[in-house]
Amino acid sequence: MASVTAHKHPARSAASILDIRPMTGALGAEVRGVDFSAPLSDQEVDAVEAALSEHLVLYFPDQELEPDHLKVMAGYFGELEKERFIPPLEGHPGVHVLKGISKSKLTTQNLIWHVDHSYKPEPSFGGVLYAVDVPTSGGDTMFSSMYRAYDALSEPMKHYLEGLVAVHDVVAYGLRSGLFETEDTRQAILRMPLPAEHPLVCTHPDTGRKMLYVNEAWTTKIKDLSPLESKSILAFLFEHATQQEFQCRVRWQNKGLLLWDNKAVQHRGVPDYEGPRLMHRVAIQGTWKPS
């Protein structure tokens, strides 16, 4: 394949390019009118950024893409981020391989609700997934809006949570999932990132909207509370944050491309399918420290 670069060229205005079809009232949109196999213009990039800011989750159907296209596409929004727990695609640094969702246990391929890399001081800006070979039904990816989750809290609960900080720890998830059952993987604990601390209520750096910042995978405790208090409040927040009315559900087809704002959503895959579910994944490096 010819070399692919992120060079931009003049094109039509953004308003004439994107066909945006909202998925639900909470978040998500199917987007047509942009081809990521070709370089994008400044207007096209701006239009996609605006759509992402409004809808948080964007699904682009019928995209004929090679791994290099995915790296260029992600590069419009930031630097590529190395995935610690997902295998790389050979010959394509920055592109990683997802090969299904476990039906029987927690895994690094994400069976429960999570925010990508919230256990780091600067979590991912966003994620990109491309469907290479997916089931004809099942294996959907679900998203939940943390704007909606915050807005739906009572005023006394909002006031209470504003002053609290939570710990996000990848090692705790690894212990629960059995990831560290062998000696080699136990040694890997020593190389894991130290836990990160983030406020339970954050302000999105681009929109200025307040959002709940917590997720079942990585959030392990609330600072300065007793263990029982922390466990009880987190259990409530995990359930509250993923209510049906805050969600959208992406139903995959081969050659579908997905981009999401990792700052303002949680997501999870649904293990309700048979057969292969092969995807290529790119993470976009974040520069925002939740605050």
Active site residues: 114, 116, 267, 281
Phi-psi region for residue 178, left (φ > 0), alpha (ψ -120 to 50) or beta? left
Rounded Cα–Cα distance for residues 81 and 283 (Å): 5
Write phi, then psi, for 106 (nearest 5 degrees).
Answer: -65, 140
Q: Position of tokens 């409040």?
A: 233
